């Protein structure tokens, strides 16, 4: 005997009035045709009284169209009360199984059949078969034709127990089904949820009025009443709209949410108080809501500056072997910028390079490198570089291209139409000379003078400093020893925004031995290194050498000439 004792299954069948004869108010609600374990005694059919009166189902039968089995009681009568479930189970279950004992509660009416199995040989697992509830007069009270294919131990349940529509059936969400219980796929009686949130425009600009809409859906079987909505900034992350966090609060018009699936769009207007990323929460409150887990929804709004201050600052379009292509961007504004949904592109693919969909914040005065190969860039440069790997990063042409940077609203923040004549040297980047200078001007770009050939993530080697008034030239490491891996580092500070720079090395007899750079574009700051070799790559001997520097302003044509000495020491 299973743990379900027949004496325990007695449900009080005494009612104040007489039970009415069974009618279409009693419906088939669940079918277990492919049970876990032995199919000879673990099949069951669940009935449900969807009416408002008790129903007596004595003398009724279960049929699979080939044969019928009369429903018989198990000691608790045959009266099915309004809203009550009834399990009709294999007769041999009670002496051979206890599979559903812990699931079936005392409020469930348990019945069985007079045959050994449902139908001729039980409920089929291989072919479609009808299950019918038939009255003593032969009328079909309820019918459902199931389609085989469910996994072992899972029942087929009705979505709405009050419905007679055969399309309302779906596989149970739980193993063993829900015998005597509310179906796992049946929605709550009263439940609403926030389905989605949208912002118009999707990326508002600071100072402009935005519209925030919340799609609210009735996902319960019954109408809802008495609701309110609150929008807040959950600063302490406790999922509660505390004082000082609330942006908006209002009652909800529930007349639009009378039946399951009804949708209501609630809108309000909001003006962001500053640019940046705002994380918001929406909380619904309803009377008699049975599931509060879907009442809170979090979302973010990226608020753009009135003017974009994100610029392209450095371009590596002709990298050294083993190094990927990349560009560097710089935030010259006063507010942090969120790179989420920004686009980097070129002429061939202007919209392909989505930088990121997550929150990536670039602080004012900070650099970020964009590349298709984050690890490749970080392994090539010794200093720490902040890199974002971009899927769809454009292929930069060596003969010339146009690189564009767009914010999430589609506004072009910066665009650089570079050409080969701007500076084309393998492994050496194009650097911006002035942050405020024109991006499209060749005069505002030059080849990097950094020894590594580029300055990703750090200040450009040829950057213009508007505070410079007097030329300053400093040579580090003098004397220096190339045999020890040392080089002479020449640091320049010039009073010109943009200049053509020439740096040459002569020996003490005035003979030119090394032309380090000749007429190269530079800003007001520059660092150059001499490794002690001549133009043929041969290491020079111990001695005093002369560094001759000439800078010509591209604007005023003013010239600066500087001559310094440096001492080279060879190891014996």
Domain ranges within the chain, ordered by starting residue: 20-171, 192-303, 310-447, 472-568
Q: Which residues pair with 277 in a beta bridge?
A: 302
Domain 472-568 adopts which CATH fold?
Immunoglobulin-like (2.60.40)
- Between CA 493 and CA 2 the distance in angstroms is 93
Q: Which CATH architecture has domain 310-447?
A: Sandwich (2.60)
Whether omega for the bond prior to residue 268 falls within 30 degrees of 0, making it cis, is no
Instruction: Kindly report the length of the chain.
Output: 572
At residue 469, the pLDDT reads 59
Helices (H) and strands (E) counted in the chain, each on its own, are 2, 39
The terminus-to-terminus CA distance of the chain in angstroms comes to: 102
What phi, psi does 281 have (nearest 5°)?
-130, 145
**What pTM did the predictor assign?**
0.63
Which of 348, 308, 347 minimizes the C-alpha distance to 329? 308
Q: What share of the chain is helix, strand, coil (3-state, %, to 5)?
A: 5, 40, 55
Instruction: Say if CB 202 and CB 264 are below 8 A apart.
Output: no
- Would you state the pLDDT for residue 468? 56
Question: Which residues are CB-neighbours of 78 under 8 A, at least 6 positions away?
Answer: 13, 56, 57, 58, 71, 109, 111
- Same fold for the pair 310-447 and 472-568: yes
* pLDDT at 15 (0 to 100): 35
d(CA 324, CA 385): 14
Buried b (16+ CB within 10 A) or exposed e, 345-378: bbeeebeebbbbeeeeebeeeebbbbbbbbebbb
Which is nearest to 224 in space by CA: 267, 187, 177, 183? 187
Query: Using the 8-state DSSP alphabet, how is residue 141 labeled?
Result: E
What is the DSSP code (8-state) at residue 565? E
Please give the chain's pLDDT, 572 residues, in tens: 344 443 333 333 333 334 544 445 899 999 999 999 888 899 999 999 999 999 999 999 999 878 899 999 999 999 999 999 999 999 999 999 999 999 999 899 999 999 888 977 789 888 999 999 999 889 999 999 999 999 999 999 999 988 877 788 999 999 999 999 999 999 999 999 999 999 999 899 888 899 999 999 999 988 888 889 999 998 888 888 888 899 999 998 888 898 899 999 999 999 988 888 888 999 999 888 999 889 999 999 999 988 889 999 999 999 999 999 999 999 998 888 999 999 999 999 998 899 999 899 999 999 999 999 999 999 999 778 899 999 999 999 999 999 999 999 999 999 999 999 998 999 999 999 889 889 999 989 999 988 889 999 999 988 876 665 567 888 888 899 999 999 999 988 888 878 889 999 999 888 999 999 998 888 888 888 999 999 999 999 999 999 999 999 887 888 888 889 999 999 87
Q: Which CATH number does 192-303 carry?
A: 2.60.40.10
**CA 317 to mean position of chain CA atoms:** 31
| CATH class as words, domain 20-171 | mainly beta
Using alpha carbons only, what angle is made at residue 233 by residues 228 and 236, rounded to the nearest 5 degrees? 115
User: What is residue 50's three-state secondary structure?
Assistant: coil
pLDDT for the residue 394 = 95
How is residue 45 written in tokens? 């059919």
Torsion angles phi and psi, residue 475, rounded to 5: -105, 120
Residue where the block lists tokens 């018009």: 253
* Centroid of chain to Cα 325: 27
Contacts of 20 (CB under 8 A, 6+ apart): 53, 54, 55, 56
C-alpha gyration radius of the chain: 40
What pLDDT, on the 0 to 100 scale, is given for residue 522? Answer: 85
């Amino acid at each position: 005997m299973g743990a379900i004792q027949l004496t325990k299954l007695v449900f009080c069948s005494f009612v104040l009035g007489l039970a009415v004869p069974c009618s279409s108010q009693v419906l088939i609600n669940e079918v277990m045709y492919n049970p876990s374990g032995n199919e000879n005694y673990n099949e069951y059919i669940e009935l449900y009284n969807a009416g408002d009166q008790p129903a007596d189902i004595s003398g009724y039968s279960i049929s699979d169209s080939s044969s019928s089995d009369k429903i018989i009681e198990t000691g608790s009568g045959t009266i099915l009360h309004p809203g009550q479930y009834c399990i009709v189970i294999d007769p041999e279950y009670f002496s051979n199984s206890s599979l559903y004992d812990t699931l079936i509660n005392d409020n469930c009416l348990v019945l069985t059949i007079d045959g050994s199995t449902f139908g001729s040989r039980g409920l089929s697992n291989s072919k479609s078969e009808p299950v019918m509830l038939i009255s003593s007069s032969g009328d079909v009270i309820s019918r459902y034709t199931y389609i085989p294919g469910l996994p072992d131990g899972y029942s087929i349940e009705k979505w709405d127990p009050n419905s007679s529509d055969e399309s309302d059936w779906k596989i149970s969400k739980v193993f063993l089904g829900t015998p005597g219980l509310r179906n796992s796929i049946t929605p709550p009686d009263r439940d609403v949820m926030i389905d989605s949130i949208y912002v118009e425009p999707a990326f508002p600009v600071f100072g402009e009025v935005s519209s925030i809409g919340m799609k609210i859906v009735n996902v319960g079987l019954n109408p809802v009443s008495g609701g309110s909505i609150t929008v807040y900034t959950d600063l302490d992350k406790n999922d509660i709209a505390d004082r000082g966090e609330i942006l908006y609060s209002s009652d909800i018009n529930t007349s639009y949410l009378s039946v399951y699936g009804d949708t209501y769009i609630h809108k309000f207007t909001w003006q962001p108080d500053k640019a940046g990323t705002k994380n918001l929460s929406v909380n619904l409150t309803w009377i008699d809501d049975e599931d509060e887990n879907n009442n809170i929804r979090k979302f973010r709004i990226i608020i753009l500056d009135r003017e974009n201050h994100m610029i392209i600052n450095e371009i590596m379009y002709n990298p050294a072997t083993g190094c990927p292509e990349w560009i560097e961007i710089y935030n010259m504004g006063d507010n942090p910028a969120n790179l989420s949904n920004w686009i980097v592109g070129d002429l061939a693919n202007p919209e392909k390079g989505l930088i990121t969909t997550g929150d990536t914040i670039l602080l004012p005065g900070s650099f970020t490198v964009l590349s298709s190969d984050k690890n490749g860039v970080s392994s090539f440069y010794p200093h720490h570089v902040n890199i974002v790997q971009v899927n769809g990063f454009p292929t930069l042409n060596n003969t010339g291209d146009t690189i564009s940077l767009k914010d999430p609203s589609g506004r072009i923040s910066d665009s650089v139409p570079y050409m080969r004549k701007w500076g084309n040297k393998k492994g050496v980047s194009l650097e911006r000379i002035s942050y405020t200078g024109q991006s499209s001007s060749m005069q505002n770009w030059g080849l990097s003078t950094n020894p590594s050939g580029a300055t990703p993530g750090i200040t450009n080697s040829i950057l213009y400093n508007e505070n410079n008034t007097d030329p300053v030239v400093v040579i580090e490491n003098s004397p220096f020893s190339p045999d020890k891996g040392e080089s002479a580092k020449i640091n320049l500070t010039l009073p010109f925004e943009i200049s053509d720079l020439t740096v040459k090395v002569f020996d003490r007899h005035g003979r030119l031995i090394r032309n380090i750079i000749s007429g190269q574009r530079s800003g007001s700051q520059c660092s150059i290194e001499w490794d002690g070799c001549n133009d043929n790559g041969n290491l020079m001997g111990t001695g005093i050498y002369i560094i001759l520097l000439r800078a010509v302003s591209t604007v005023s044509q003013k010239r600066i000439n500087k001559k310094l000495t440096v001492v080279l020491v060879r190891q014996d």
